[in-house]
Amino acid sequence: MAGNVARRVALMMVASGCLVQAGMAWAWGPEGHALVADMAQAHLSPAAASEVRRLLSVEGYRRLDQVSSWPDAIRSAEPTTGPWHYVDIPLYAVAYSAQRDCHVDEHGQRVAEMTCVVAKLPEFVRMLADPSQGDARRLVALKWVVHLVADIHQPLHAEDDHDRGGNDVRLPWYGQPSNLHAIWDLGIIEHRFGWQLGPRYSFDHEAVRAEAARLDAVITAQQREQWAPAGAVAQIDLRVQAWANGSHALACAVYRHLPPVAEPGWENGYQSWAWPVAQGQLERASVRLAGVLNEALK
């Protein structure tokens, strides 16, 4: 199937303009979400850090990485939240369209309400920034904001090619059966660091925190200013649309770099290309998350 996908993508990209590159289930998996949360927490202002600690303490937590995958954990019990994690912008579309892309329920049926991450993330940002909402609701909002800022930076959470965001593109990944979406959720990050999820999706928090510190250290002051200029909360709807469009622009390359045939060893070349892309998106997400939290909780 990977060969058919790659050939179809190559032909359609020429016609659609997808060959123009953009600058540079679970989005990122628990480890990826924790990386974003850890990097962001290191850059909270004193006021935001204090409020984050206070809200987390309501449920006995201390760090954002402890709740960064909570929205995934509740999906089976609350399936209507599924569409909140992504936006199905057609792979060959130029950009996000609210009318076309944000009205689908968990069964893939069109609905009147806006259900995608581009709509839900701003809702939770506003809830978090509003003290009148009460601590319980604001803690829920904090969990969603931490999670969805990371989700929207995963390229396959901002596209669809009639394949459920790459879930139907079956591929082997270093000796194990997988699919394109899972490779971006988990495979690329876990192969980079030699990680493997434990029972019930547990992972080594200390190892992730150590790698988060190393990734965070290479982000320059200029990148931070460029990725997260002031005014994030006041302009949150426009910012979130821009983040979705940035991820969507990368999705073309995610497909284009697939080999015509997934022969043994294909993973090495794909990993070499994909990790820098994933790293850049994780770093962007962390900087933008810190910016949102600092403004919402000042």
Taking the model in full, what pTM does it have?
0.91
Q: Is residue 102 over pLDDT 80?
A: yes
Q: Is residue 194 over pLDDT 90?
A: yes
pLDDT category at 25 given cuts 50, 70, 90 is: low
Q: Give pLDDT, residue 16.
A: 37
Mean pLDDT of 161-170: 95
Nearest CA among 95, 82, 207 for reference residue 158: 95
Nearest CA among 158, 178, 160, 194 for reference residue 266: 178
Q: Is residue 5 over pLDDT 60?
A: no
pLDDT tens digit sequence for 202-261: 899 999 999 999 999 999 999 999 999 999 999 999 999 999 999 999 999 999 999 999
Q: Give pLDDT, residue 200.
A: 85
- The two structure tokens encoding residue 98: 């609210």
Q: Give pLDDT, residue 24.
A: 28
CA 210 remoteness from chain centre: 20
Q: Give pLDDT, residue 26.
A: 58
**Contact assessment for residue 9 and residue 258, using Cβ atoms and an 8 Å cutoff:** yes
Helix intervals (H) in the chain: 2-16, 29-41, 46-57, 70-73, 98-101, 117-128, 135-151, 180-182, 188-193, 205-217, 221-227, 236-256, 266-296
User: How much of the chain, in percent, has pLDDT values that exceed 70?
Assistant: 91
Task: Report d(CA 73, CA 79) in Å as an integer.
Answer: 11
Q: Give pLDDT, residue 103.
A: 97
Residue ranges and CATH numbers for the domains of the chain are 2-296 (1.10.575.10)
Q: Is residue 119 over pLDDT 80?
A: yes
- Looking at residue 269, the DSSP 8-state letter turns out to be H
pLDDT category at 23 given cuts 50, 70, 90 is: very low
Which region, left, alpha or beta, applies to residue 194 given φ > 0 means left and ψ of -120 to 50 means alpha?
left
Q: Give the residue carrying structure tokens 């506003």.
A: 126
Nearest CA among 6, 148, 13 for reference residue 82: 148
Task: Report d(CA 166, CA 181) in Å as an integer.
Answer: 5
Sequential DSSP letters for 167-233: TT-EEEETTEEEEHHHIIIIIHHHHHHT----GGG---HHHHHHHHHHHHHT--HHHHHHHS-S-TT
**Contact assessment for residue 58 and residue 139, using Cβ atoms and an 8 Å cutoff:** yes
Q: Give the residue carrying structure tokens 């701003």.
A: 122
Mean pLDDT of 63-89: 97
pLDDT tens digit sequence for 123-158: 999 999 999 999 999 999 999 999 999 999 999 999
Mean pLDDT of 12-28: 44
What lies within 8 Å, CB to CB, of 54 at 6+ separation is 135
The residue type at 274: A
Q: Give pLDDT, residue 11.
A: 36
